[in-house]
Structure 1
Amino acid sequence: MNLIKIFGIIIILIMVFSAVATFLAMIIVPGT
């Protein structure tokens, strides 16, 4: 079924978005 494939794509997109958000956060807010 396509539901499994769509669910996997959604999970991958969430993981990528989380990684990008963390990367941008490290750039915008410099660590101590």
Structure 2
Amino acid sequence: MSGVRENRVKIQVLEEAVADLADGFHFYDGI
């Protein structure tokens, strides 16, 4: 169970990182 929970946390961190990158790309598109 703990392994599954750790993977879930990693996925959440990755999703946040992707969201930040997406915001960065939108920011550059705005320029």
TM-score normalised over the length of structure 1: 0.73
Pairs aligned (count)? 29
Map of 1:5 onto structure 2: 2
Runs of 4+ in structure 1 displaced over 4 angstroms?
Answer: none
Please report the RMSD computed on the Cα atoms of aligned residues, expressed in angstroms. Answer: 1.7
CA distance in 2, matches of 1:13, 1:29: 24
Kindly indicate which of the two structures has a greater share of residues assigned to helix. 2
List alignment gaps of at least 5 residues for structure 2.
Answer: none
Residue identity over aligned pairs, in percent, reads 14
List alignment gaps of at least 5 residues for structure 1.
Answer: none
